[in-house]
Amino acid sequence: MSGLLRCYSFHSVKGGVGKSTLSVLTALGLAQRGAQVTLVDMDLTGTSLADVLPLEAPAWEDLEPSAALALLRPPTGFLSHEETRDRMELRDELASEAIERDPEGAEALVPRCVPFLNDFLLFATPDWDEQRDVDIRTMLWRMQGVPHESLRVVPSSALPSDLDRTLPVIFDENHSGFLEGRLEYLLEALVPGQGEAVVVVDTPPTIPGLSRAVLSLALRLSREPKRPLADDGFMPERLRAARVEWTAFLVGSMDLQDIRAANRWLSQVGEEERPHVRFLVNRIQEGDEHQLQELLKDRIGHEPNPLLNAPAHVKDDRMLRFFRSAAVPAIPDSALGFLEEG
């Protein structure tokens, strides 16, 4: 018996629209209200939530700081935030040295010091095999200052040694099927035995590549029966049995470029898939929500498609600019109103 997996993913056609902020806002706000939340940082483009949030990495007490991670067994605790920052720098230093010695060698691929989503997606460990896949739950980080266990984070790596391997893959459409398959296994591990769990996914800017893989996954799992990725019909069993409710938000602004790009992408969403996709206008000014329909029509010059014509919205609020502070903010109830719109 499996419970409900409620998923929210945030996408954009370009950077700078507040997609990552909305992802953290959603995860932290729901966790502060008692939900069991996992925040997955899939924006593997040179930014990382580990750089902007007070995160603490999992630790194995019997391992030296520079040792290869024991990802096939559960961690025994967590590092402090300061220790985590030190281990991140050590990871990059060790990987860079290994690459310099032997660019094609296996040692350069071994994840050390702290785990990142990159390691799970790219099989970057020599003891990984089909029969003993790594459970994503061994790679969950926690957030300093959150006094409960309801929020866990899987950050991506923005370290130069990791980006060299990751960037060619996540924007390559030829790898999208492989990445989508890895995401199925990631989600399977997070399916609750009963009750409800929430997964929030922050994706890279632009739709092709990894972001498209997440969208495809969202629409496949939102169907009943769920549509398998592979022609042979295979899907991880616990994921197949789970109830999945997924909302994919395409985040934009009132900028003309955003509106027209959103209109092009949303026009490709089929009628059966529309209930699972929302256009979200971020950082609107006071009073704009009452003029949104007229503004949208004025921007594109004709009646927009149904998804563009009924956007969710989030006001421009200084309280929500929490990447500028190391403190963990309390999320007001009103800030999550866009989850219920539509």
Q: What is the pLDDT of residues 85-136, one digit of tens each?
A: 999 999 999 988 988 888 766 666 778 899 999 999 876 555 556 566 889 9
- For residues 198 and 36, the answer to whether their CB atoms sit within 8 Å is yes
Average model confidence (pLDDT) across the chain: 87
- Least confident interval from 69-73, 87-91, 305-309: 305-309
Question: What is the pairing mode between strands 142-143 and 55-56?
Answer: antiparallel
Query: Does residue 303 register a pLDDT over 80?
Result: no
Nearest to 77 by CA among 64, 59, 92: 59
Lookup: tokens for 181: 């398959």
Q: How far apart are CA 58 and CA 75, in angstroms?
A: 6
pLDDT in tens, 167-185: 777 777 777 888 899 999 9
Is residue 329 helix, strand or coil? coil
pLDDT at position 149 is 79
Q: How far is CA 79 from CA 82, 124, 143, 153, 282, in A?
A: 8, 22, 11, 14, 35
Query: Does residue 210 register a pLDDT over 80?
Result: yes
Average pLDDT over residues 14-23: 92
Highest mean pLDDT among 113-127, 200-214, 291-305: 200-214
Residue 15 gets which letter from DSSP? S
Look up the CATH architecture of domain 4-55+145-339. 3-Layer(aba) Sandwich (3.40)
Query: Does residue 83 register a pLDDT over 90?
Result: yes
Q: How far apart are CA 78 and CA 139, in angstroms?
A: 11
Q: How far apart are CA 243 and CA 196, in angstroms?
A: 9
Q: How far is CA 225 from the centre of its chain?
A: 25
In the chain, what are the helix, strand and coil shares in percent, each to the nearest 5? 40, 15, 40
Give residue 342's pLDDT band: very low, low, confident or very high (50, 70, 90): low
The contacts of residue 275 (CB under 8 Å, 6+ apart) are 222
Instruction: Please count the other Cβ atoms lying within 10 Å of the Cβ belonging to residue 339.
Output: 16
pLDDT at position 9 is 98
pLDDT at position 102 is 80
Give residue 152's pLDDT band: very low, low, confident or very high (50, 70, 90): very high
Domain extents in the chain: 4-55+145-339
The residue that leads in pLDDT, 130 or 57, is: 57
Burial 214-242 (b: 16+ CB within 10 A, else e): bbbbbbbbbeeebeebeeeeebbebbbeb
pLDDT at position 288 is 72
